[in-house]
Amino acid sequence: MRTVLALSLCCLFSFADTAIISPHDIVRPEIAHSAMIAASEPIAAEAGRAILAEGGNAVDAAVTMAFTMAATLPRAGNLGGGGFMVLRTPQGVVEVIDFREMAPAAATRDMFLNEAGDADSEKSRFSHLAVGVPGTVAGLALALEHHGTKDLKRVLAPAIEAANGFDAPQSLTEAITARTDRLGANAAAAAVFLPQGKAPQPGSHFAQPDLARTLQQIADGGAEAFYNGPFADAISKEMAANGGLVTKADMATYQAIVRKPIRGTYRGYDVYSMPPPSSGGVHIVQLLNILSGYDLTAAGHNSAQSIHWLAESMKYAYADRSKYLGDTDFVDVPIEQLTSDAYAAAVRSGIAEQARPSEEIRPGQLLPPESNETTHFSIIDHHGFAVAVTYTLNFSFGSGIMVPGTGVLLNNEMDDFSAKAGVPNAYGLLGGEANAVEPGKRMLSSMSPTLLVKDGQVFLATGSPGGSRIITTVLQVILNLVDHGMNLQEAVNAPRVHHQWLPDELRVESGISADTIRLLEARGHRVVEKTTMGAAASVLRSSQTGQLQGAADPRRDGVAVGL
């Protein structure tokens, strides 16, 4: 990952002469008048733009892009994973589609414990037991059926073309090289990604004919062809031969779910985000509620005071996450209490001028009654649709396991369950009873596709990859826009901070001043500078001009393209 400078001297995107942007701005977003896409992969973004140019809407473009990234961004784009979509219709209705993976029917609570009763991360991350029932194909097909104007043959055409071959970018070859050991351990994956035992050269022709065939089956037969056809046969055979649990029955019974969004308000904006099994919406609203009691604008962006308020608020939110969040089809999550103003005020009253050690913070007493390798893209179109999609395989290339003859990489999302209460997952997040493994249950996620609406008009579509840092990345993009008056590209580029309660460290990106860090340390924070966090892909509609701004994140390869 490249280091991000808050004030880059280089503009990453072109802009129109008519852009309403301060001449003092150094970085500027892409500008368009009709529609805008922000995404992490250029081929998929161009495929989405082509759909929009021929009259399709943002949902058509989103489904096109998601299928295309299964071929062009295989470390995160997928058919064998899952995710979430938040969309707003031209009539102002906000809907969320949950296509998160699901535990197989044969899953058991203690399936990832070894003989000593300890959590075995190898089982939960890299074995066939790590694979949840994939939801991506069902979710995309459902979105297209409910809101699209194109058929599956049209939206899948760019994905099939890409699977039949494209020039491999350096980012793809570097990602494969970084996972050579894991991909090389699976014969089917190695045959695709490591021909002659090593990653393809940048610019070389990279083809995935088995994936193209699977995509064509979906184009011809719909999601049914995936969940009750050749792929279902192939995955059940692969699982049975290698100790996995996903069966044909699991595939046949999987369904994407339409849910009600989490809704909050912040300084005159309506905030819509994902409900459980994502923790993102609950905690973004919770954090905004807490921070609404502080004058962040007066404190200044990334000042010691504002970062202190952010860090202390984050500790409480992630402590609550460890106890209360899970799949609401299985557990009672106190959403109304966690997102209430009264609870935010109670949390705020416990925030002092000195940092409170995490060991002193416990999940809150609620007021009665009450993967890093992921990818995200955002779209706003001229029809009035706004769409934010985050989906993933979990780790880069997921489990590293490919179903032979299909070209489909499988997720390792079962690691997002609590293998054992109080034992952290791969992102250091603790979980408890609410997120324990159960058959048919959807594992907790941090994915947070989010929309902001003001005065009846969509203002922002945003989201990010980044595992446990997704929530805080999305939060800071919102704060940078609303409280600190940045343009969209500045809001995305600005250095980020993160605290997730445990471990008790305030993580910062390069770009936070040494003086600010010293002031934070004097308040009792243990500050650590680590690699960059998140990769926000965001689209904003100007309330003054109606122009669209698009900003992809320079922390990873990305692009904003408009009409």
Dist. CA 420–CA 426, nearest whole Å: 13
* Residue owning tokens 């805080």: 472
Dist. CA 537–CA 553, nearest whole Å: 6
Dist. CA 82–CA 397, nearest whole Å: 13
328 is catalytic: no
Local structure of 239: helix, strand or coil: helix
Dist. CA 140–CA 146, nearest whole Å: 10
Tokens found for residue 286 = 């919770």
Local structure of 375: helix, strand or coil: strand
CA dihedral for 71, 465, 424, 443, sign (positive or negative):
negative
Dist. CA 232–CA 372, nearest whole Å: 28
Dist. CA 347–CA 316, nearest whole Å: 7
**In degrees, to the nearest 5, what angle opens at C-alpha 463 toward C-alphas 457 and 466?**
170
Dist. CA 554–CA 563, nearest whole Å: 22
Write out the H or E segment, with its range, that includes residue 283.
helix 280-291
Dist. CA 154–CA 348, nearest whole Å: 51
What residues form DSSP beta bridges with 529? 508
The active-site residue out of 64, 374, 473, 516 is 374
Dist. CA 474–CA 88, nearest whole Å: 18
CA dihedral for 334, 473, 46, 392, sign (positive or negative):
negative
Query: Contacts by 250-254 with C-beta closer than 8 Å and gap 24+?
Result: 250/102, 250/104, 250/105, 250/133, 251/133, 251/226, 251/227, 252/227, 252/228, 253/105, 254/102, 254/133, 254/134, 254/135, 254/138, 254/227
CB atoms < 10 A from the CB of 209, how many? 12
Sheet with strand 30-32: strands edge to edge: 30-32, 548-551, 538-541, 457-462, 450-454, 269-273, 262-266
* 237 touches 245 (CB < 8 A): no
Residues with a known catalytic role: 374
